[in-house]
Amino acid sequence: MMAEVAHVPPAHRASPITEKTAVRWGLTGIALLFLSVVLFLPLAAVFSEALRHGAWAFIEALGQEDTLAAIRLTLLVAAITVPLNMVFGIVVAWTIAKFEFFGKAFLTTLIDLPFSVSPVISGLVYILLFGSQSVLGPWLKAHGIEILFALLGIVLATIFVTFPFVARKLIPLMQEQGTGDEEAAISLGASGWQTFLYVILPRIKWGVLYGVLLCNARAMGEFGAVSVVSGHIRGLTNTLPLQVEILYNEYNFVAAFAVASLLTVLALISLVFKSLLELRFSGELAATTRP
Amino acid sequence: MTSSSLGWGPVPRDRLRSQDPSGARDFLRLVLHRGCGECRFRQRDRLGAGSLSLSGAPCGQCGCRSAVRLADGGAGISLVAIYTQDGPVGRLLAPLGIKVAFTPLGIVVALIFIGLPFVVRTVQPVIEESEPEIEETAATLGASRLQTMLRVILPTLAPALLTGFVRAVGEYGSVIFIADNIPYVSEIAALLIVIRLEKFDYAAATAIASIMLLLSFAMLLIINLIQS
C-alpha cells in the first residue's frame, strides 16, 4: 500500500486521511522551529558557552580539584547504583512478567512511582527516614552510620530515581516472550538457576543493556533528589550536576558550562550506544516501544 | 505523618504556582506534538517506509531523548544562556517586549524542555499503533481533518499526554535557574520544599510534599480511569 501511495502523484491523490501538502509542511516547519528553539539551541549553547574563552580555559575549568572530585564521586555513584538496579530490575521484571500473584497491579504501579514523584520528594523521603529528627536517626548516630550528606544517601537517592528504567524495559519484553520456553526447560530437568541463566537471560540481554544505558545516564545526571540528600559539601558530596549549580551561582560561567558540557557529552555517548542497540537489535527490543 | 501535626498554615499560597504554567505548557506541547508526530509517520508513508522523515529524526530518534539525558542542571543554565536578553533567542524577543528568562514564562520554557521527551515517548507509540481505518471511517462519515484530529485522535492520546503533565508538576533542577525564584511570582513547589529543608523545617517541607504527592496520585488515578 505504501509503494502504491508513493507512485501516485499527490495532485491526483486526495487521500481523506492526509493533510494537504502545505499543511503538512507547515506542521513540520512549526515542529522543527519549536524543537530548535527549545532543544537544539540549549544543547549547542552548552558547548559554545563552555568554549567562550578558548579551549585552555575549558580544560583549566575541568581540572579544578573540586570538579575532579565531583567527577570521581559521580562515577562511583553510577558504578554502585547501576549494577544494583540491573539486578533489582531483572528480579522485578521476572516476577511481574512471569507470575500471577495478589497485589501485582499495585507492585506495577509502585515501579512507576519514581517517574511520577518529584525528584525533590524522592530526596525528602530519605531525610524523613534517616534524618537526625527521625526514628532511626539517633540509632544511626549512635552506631556511627552516616547516610544523609554522605555517599550512602546519594547512592540511595540515585537508586530510587533510576529504579524503573531496567524493569520497565524488561516487563513488556518478558511478557511477550511468555513462559513456554521456561516450562520446557524445567520439564527437561533444568534447575531454576539454569533456566534463568541459559533460557531467560540470553533472550533479554539486549533489553537489559538498553535499560542499563538509560539507568546510567540518569544516575550520572540526577540533580533534584541528590541535591536534597547530598549536603553540597565541596570535594566530598558534590556530584557533577551539583557542581554545575555551585559554579554557576558563583558566576563562574565558563567552568559551569564546561562541567555541563561534560554531562552533555556523557548523554550523547549513551545516546549513540542506545541508537546502535536499537538499530542492531530492533527485533529483540521489539516489545520495548513503550518507555 | 509529620505534616499532619500542623494545619494548613505552613502550606503557602504560591505552591500552586507550579501547576499554573503547566496548563499553558501542555496545551502548547499538545498542539506542537500533534504536528510533530503526525508529520512524522505521514511523511514516512510518502517517502517510503525505510527513510526517516525530516521531523521524525529529531523528534523520536535523538533530540528529545538526549534531553532526558542532559542533566537537569546543565539544561537549566543553558536555557538561561539562550533566553536572557543577550542570548541568541532572548535578543530576538526583547524588542517585542517579551522577557523569558527570570519570569514565569521561563518556567514554561524549562518545563517544555524537560517534559518534551516524556510526552513524545508516551504519545509516539500510541500514534504509531492507531489504525488509519479509524481516520478513514471518520472521513467517510464526513468529518474534516480538523474534526478527525480533535474528536477522534486526540481523545486516544489523553492518557499519554496527562502522563507528561504529572512529571512537570514536580520538576526542580531545570527550573530553578531560569526562574528568578521570587516568592509569589516565580517560585515553584519543589523549590519551596528545598527552601524549607535548608531551614530544617521538616514539617513544612513534608506538608508541601504531601500535597504534591496527592496531586500526582490523583492524576495517575485519572489516567488509569481513562485508560480502563
pLDDT of residue A208: 92
Q: Which tens digit of pLDDT belongs to each residue from A17-56? A: 777 788 888 888 888 888 888 778 888 888 898 998 889 9
Q: Do A35 and B36 touch (CB under 8 A)?
A: yes
Q: Which residues 40-99 in chain A show a CB within 8 A of chain B? A: 40-43, 45-46, 49
Chain A residue with the nearest C-alpha to that of B213: A117
What is the band of A6 on the pLDDT scale with cuts at 50, 70, 90? low
A291 touches chain B (CB under 8 A): yes
Chain B positions in Cβ-Cβ contact with residue A27 (cut-off 8 Å) = 34-36, 38-39
pLDDT of residue B70: 52
pLDDT value of position A160: 94
pLDDT digit string (tens) for B141-180? 988 888 888 888 888 888 777 776 777 777 888 888 888 8
Report pTM: 0.78
Place of cell 559554545: A48
Confidence of residue A9 (pLDDT cuts 50, 70, 90): low
- DSSP letter at B172 equals -
Rounded Cα–Cα distance for residues A61 and A46 (Å): 14
Q: A63: buried, middle or exposed (CB in 10 Å: 19+, 13-18, 0-12)?
A: exposed
pLDDT attached to residue B59: 30
Are A185 and A199 in contact by the 8 Å Cβ rule? The answer is yes
Mean pLDDT of chain A, nearest integer: 86
Binned at pLDDT 50, 70 and 90, residue A67 comes out as very high
pLDDT at residue A76 in the model: 95
Could you give the count of Cα atoms lying within 13 Å of B93 in the half-sphere of its Cβ? 16
**Beta-carbon count within 10 A of A23 CB:** 15
pLDDT > 90 fraction of chain B, expressed in percent and rounded: 5
8 Å CB contact of A223 and B206: no
ipTM: 0.77
CB-closest option in A34, A45, A224 to B173: A224
| pLDDT at residue B26 in the model | 53
pLDDT for A121-146, tens place per residue? 999 999 999 988 888 888 888 888 88
HSE-CB at A74 with a 13 A cutoff on CA atoms is 27
The string of pLDDT tens digits covering residues A257-274 is 999 998 888 888 888 888
Q: What is the distance of C-alpha B42 from the center of its chain?
A: 24
B53 vs A29: CA distance, rounded Å: 12
Contacts of A124 in chain B (CB under 8 A): 193, 197, 205-206, 209
For residue range A166-193, what is the model confidence (pLDDT) as tens digits?
998 898 889 888 888 889 999 999 998 9
Q: What share of chain B is helix, strand, coil (3-state, %, to 5)?
A: 75, 0, 25
| Closest residue, chain A, to B32 (C-alpha) | A31
Q: What is the CA radius of gyration of chain B?
A: 20
- Residue the block writes with cell 519484553: A173
Tens digits of residue pLDDT in B3-53: 444 444 444 444 334 444 445 555 555 555 544 454 444 444 333 332 222
Tens of pLDDT, residue by residue over B209-222, are 999 888 888 887 88
Q: How many Cα atoms occupy the beta-carbon half-sphere of B35 within 13 Å?
A: 21
Is residue A222 less than 8 Å (CB to CB) from chain B?
Answer: yes
